[in-house]
Amino acid sequence: MVEAFITENYVSPLYDFVFTEIFGTQKNIDITMAFLKTFLDIPEDDYERLTVVNPALRRIFRNEKSGVVDLKLTTKSGRIIHVELQVENRSNLKNRIIYYAARLIGDQLKWGEDYNKLHQVISIIICNHILLEEEKSYINEFQLRNKNNNSFTKLLKIVILELPKVPENEDSAVWPWLQFFKCKEKEDFNMLALKYPELKKPVSCAKKMSLTELWRDYWFHKNLYKWDEVNRIRQIKIDARAEGLAEGKAEGLVEGKAEGRAEGRAEGHAEGHAEGKLEIARNLITKGSTLEFVQEVTGISDDEIKKLQNQG
Q: What is the pLDDT of residue 223?
A: 53
Residue 137 neighbours by CB under 8 Å, 6+ apart? 165
For residues 123-135, average pLDDT: 95
pLDDT of 227 reads 52
pLDDT tens column, 44-74: 999 999 999 988 776 655 555 667 888 999 9
* Calpha distance 210→193 (Å, rounded): 17
Q: Are 154 and 138 in contact (CB under 8 A)?
A: no
pLDDT at res. 48: 92
Helices (H), ranges, 112-212: 175-182, 186-195, 200-210
% of the chain residues with pLDDT over 90: 46
Residue 198: CA count within 13 A, CB half-sphere: 18
- Per the prediction, the chain carries an average pLDDT of 80
CA distance 206 to 20: 11
Quote the pTM value.
0.65
First to last CA, the chain: 64
How many CA atoms within 13 Å lie on the side-chain side of 292?
0
> CA-to-CA distance for 180 and 193, rounded, in angstroms?
9
| Selected residue with higher pLDDT from 64 and 11 | 11
Q: Which amino acid, one-letter code, is at 78?
A: G
Give yes or no for residue 17 having a pLDDT over 60: yes
Q: List the domain boundaries for the chain.
A: 2-211, 236-311
* Whether the Cβ atoms of residue 253 and residue 262 lie closer than 8 Å to each other: no
Is the per-residue pLDDT at 2 higher than 50?
A: no
Q: What is the mean pLDDT of residues 95-113?
A: 90
Sign, CA torsion 233/234/235/238: positive
CA dihedral sign, ordered 216, 88, 71, 64: negative
Residue pair 46/76 in contact (Cβ under 8 Å)? The answer is yes
How many angstroms separate the CA atoms of 159 and 244, rounded? 47
pLDDT tens-place string over residues 156-207: 999 999 999 999 999 999 999 999 999 888 899 999 999 999 999 999 988 8
pLDDT in tens, 195-223: 999 999 999 988 877 655 455 555 554 55
